[in-house]
Chain A
Amino acid sequence: GEDVEQSLFLSVREGDSSVINCTYTDSSSTYLYWYKQEPGAGLQLLTYIFSNMDMKQDQRLTVLLNKKDKHLSLRIADTQTGDSAIYFCAEKNNQGGKLIFGQGTELSVKP
Chain B
Amino acid sequence: DTGVSQNPRHKITKRGQNVTFRCDPISEHNRLYWYRQTLGQGPEFLTYFQNEAQLEKSRLLSDRFSAERPKGSFSTLEIQRTEQGDSAMYLCASSLSFNSPLHFGNGTRLTVT
Contacts and interface: CB of A to CB of B under 8 A. Distances in A.
Interface stretch (B12-20, B39-47, B66-74, B75-83): B39-47
Nearest to A94: B98
Categorize the interface residue count of chain A. 20 to 34
A16 to B, nearest CB: 25
Categorize the interface residue count of chain B. 20 to 34
A102 B44 CA distance: 9
Contact of A43 (B43, B45, B55, B56): B43
Contacts of A4: 42
Given A42-B107, A88-B42, A104-B42, A99 B91 contact: no
A25 interface: no
Contact of B45 (A33, A40, A48, A100): A100
A4 B43 CA distance: 12
A105 to B, nearest CB: 10
For A31, A88, A96, the residue with the greatest tally of chain B CB atoms inside 10 Å of its CB is A96
Contacts of B42: 4, 88, 90, 101-104
Interface string A41-69: 11111001000000000000000000000
For A40, A98, A99, the residue with the greatest tally of chain B CB atoms inside 10 Å of its CB is A98
B31 interface: yes
For B40, B43, B91, the residue with the greatest tally of chain A CB atoms inside 10 Å of its CB is B43
Contacts of A97: 31, 48, 95, 98-99
Given A96-B56, A98-B56, A100-B45, A31 B107 contact: no
Interface of A: 4, 30-31, 33, 35, 40-45, 48, 88, 90, 95-104
